[in-house]
Amino acid sequence: MSEDTRTAVLTPTGRLNMVAAPALKSLIEESVADGRDRVVVDFSEVVFIDSSGLGALIAGLKCTRQSGGDLRIANVPEQVVAVLRLTNLDRVLRAHPTVAAASHEW
């Protein structure tokens, strides 16, 4: 499988909260099940994230890594960066400036 077919770019919109988080988690799991275990979550359309959204990202990270891939985040707004820093998740989910930067060298 080539690198391009192993990579999925997911772009959630609006608020990544307890309403939207399960759908993101499912999309990540479906991507991995389809053989796309390198997932980039593009946050360019996200305005808010809460603990449910963080949980979906961590579950997605675990899912991708168990399949030999990875989960990366890109175009992360300052509100999301602040939440990642407050929870120390910025150490696990490093924010990349663009989708291309996040998927570089896979």
Q: Domain boundaries in the chain? A: 3-103
How buried is residue 78: exposed, middle or buried, by Cβ count under 10 Å (0-12/13-18/19+)?
exposed
Q: Alpha-carbon distance 85 to 68, whole Å?
A: 26
- What is the structure's pLDDT at 3? 58
Q: Alpha-carbon distance 24 to 10, whole Å?
A: 8
- What is the structure's pLDDT at 58? 97
- What is the structure's pLDDT at 4? 74
> What are the CA-CA distances from residue 58 to residues 8, 9, 70, 90 (Å)?
17, 16, 11, 11
In whole angstroms, how large is the CA radius of gyration of the chain? 12
Domain with residues 3-103, CATH architecture: 2-Layer Sandwich (3.30)
Q: What are phi and psi of 64, to 5 degrees?
A: -65, -40
Residues of the chain scoring pLDDT < 50? none
CB 103 within 8 A of CB 39: no
SS3 18: coil
